[in-house]
Each structure stands twice: as structure tokens, then as C-alpha cells.
Amino acid sequence: MEPDPPVRVDHPPKQKIGTLPDPEPTRRMIYGGTMPPPPGPDEPSGAFLPPKNRKVTKRKVSPFNIILILMGAAATIVLYISNIIAVNQLVNDIHKEETRLQKILNDQEMLKAQINQKSSLERIRKRAEEELGLQNPKDALQWIDVDKEKVRELEEVTRKQE
């Protein structure tokens, strides 16, 4: 595949009324997307050669700019590493607190189970019978008739004593 040769375009000169035409029309080069190979030393320079570019000059980087860039990079690296360390510390703290919370929840469940066990009616009945000697009545309940006159007499006696 060969590069496209530059195309020469000649424009007719614009003339003002009463002036003479330019002796040579101006030439323009249109870039076709690829550069032709440079001419060899034995080839004559003609109308179809592309215009020469300026001489390439390297831009010098000052030591101050290099030091400034290195200091910025070092500061960025230090901040990044300190951020990673802080995040790891927070993750460890969260893990410890989650472990502690789980232990507290387990203890709470054990205490609830103990409360339910100790407040059961069967356990209370056994303790009342063994320690206090209380028993459930074996006979059916009976109603007691109270004499109202005796109650009044007792009330009068207690008032007199006071």
C-alpha cells in the first residue's frame, strides 16, 4: 500500500479591477491522510514536496517540577496507606463489637430460659410442699357461716380497748 501523493490545488488569483494578474498562482497542499516518503538526496525538490516542519526541540523538565511530582506522589501514597490501615482497624472493631453483642444475646436467652424454668407452677408447688410444708387441700371447699352479732360484739370490745 503506497501513501497518497499530495494533491496540488491552484486557485485562480482574485483580481481587482484595474490591476495586473499575479505572475504565479499560489499553491496549496492538501493532506490525504498519509505522508509520502521523504525524498532521497539525489531527488530534486519540486512542486510536489510537502512543506518542511519546524525543528523538533525537546522541552526540558526542571528538577523542581520532578521533586514536586515525587512529593505529591509520596503524599498520595501515605494518605492511601493510612486510609487502608484506618479501615482495617474499623473492621476489627466492628468484628469485636459483633462478637460481644452475640455473647450478650446468648446470655440474655439463657437468663430468659432460667426465668421460665424457675417461674413454672410445678416447681413452685414442689418448693412450697418441701420447704414450707404447704399442701393442697384434700377436701372440697366449704362455706363458713358468720354470725353477725358476734362480729359486732368483737368490734365493740376492740373499740373499748383502744
What does the pLDDT read at residue 130? 86
Q: Is residue 100 part of a domain?
A: yes
Q: Decide if 59 contacts 19 (C-beta within 8 A).
A: no
What domain range includes position 104?
63-134
Q: Looking at the 3D structure of the chain, how many domains does it have?
A: 1
Contact assessment for residue 45 and residue 39, using Cβ atoms and an 8 Å cutoff:
yes
The answer to whether position 95 is within a domain reads yes
Within a domain: 13: no
In a domain, 38, yes or no: no
- Residue-wise pLDDT for 55-77, tens only, equals 777 778 889 999 999 999 999 99
Q: Kindly report the pTM of this predicted structure.
A: 0.41
